[in-house]
């Protein structure tokens, strides 16, 4: 009886662990929470989201005088590093500063910064 219960527990925990890695916000569609990831090819996130009527880029304001930034938008870029399947996402920032607003700045698990021109923007319907 204990063996059967342990087997059921192991199988159920295995399936739960797979669902914990899923991105709760799907690509190219607004979900029930009225947010979604939309593609950008070197276009600032506020511009991408403005094209979707009634939405805006998920962003945060901050002060960094050495970078001359006012806010940063949330973005994600595809990666092939550190995943057995060769696919995955790195989450990062799309800065408001000229010259950086067309890139998604992400940090790898090794701590290196990458600048991606093809990325997704998090848009929220307000």
| Residue 19: domain span | 2-125
Q: How far is CA 46 from CA 56, 66, 77, 113, in A?
A: 6, 22, 17, 22
pLDDT by residue for the chain (126 residues), tens only, comes to 667 666 665 565 555 444 444 555 667 666 566 888 999 988 899 999 999 888 889 888 877 676 666 788 999 998 865 555 557 888 999 987 776 788 899 988 888 888 888 999 999 987
Please state the domain count of the chain. 1
What does the block give as tokens for 95?
């800065």
DSSP labels for 52-86? STTEEE-EEEEEETTTTEEEEEEEEEEE-SS-TTS
């Amino acid at each position: 009886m204990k063996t059967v219960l342990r087997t059921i527990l192991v199988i159920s925990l295995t399936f739960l662990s797979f669902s914990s890695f899923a991105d709760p916000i799907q690509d190219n569609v607004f979900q029930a929470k009225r947010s979604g990831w939309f593609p950008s090819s070197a276009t600032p996130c506020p511009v991408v989201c403005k094209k979707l009527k009634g939405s805006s880029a998920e962003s945060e304001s901050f002060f960094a005088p050495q970078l001359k930034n006012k806010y940063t938008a949330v973005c994600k870029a595809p990666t092939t590093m550190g995943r057995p399947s060769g696919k995955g996402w790195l989450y990062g920032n799309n800065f408001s500063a000229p010259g950086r607003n067309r890139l998604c700045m992400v940090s790898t698990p090794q701590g290196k910064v990458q600048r991606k021109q093809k990325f997704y923007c998090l848009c929220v319907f307000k």
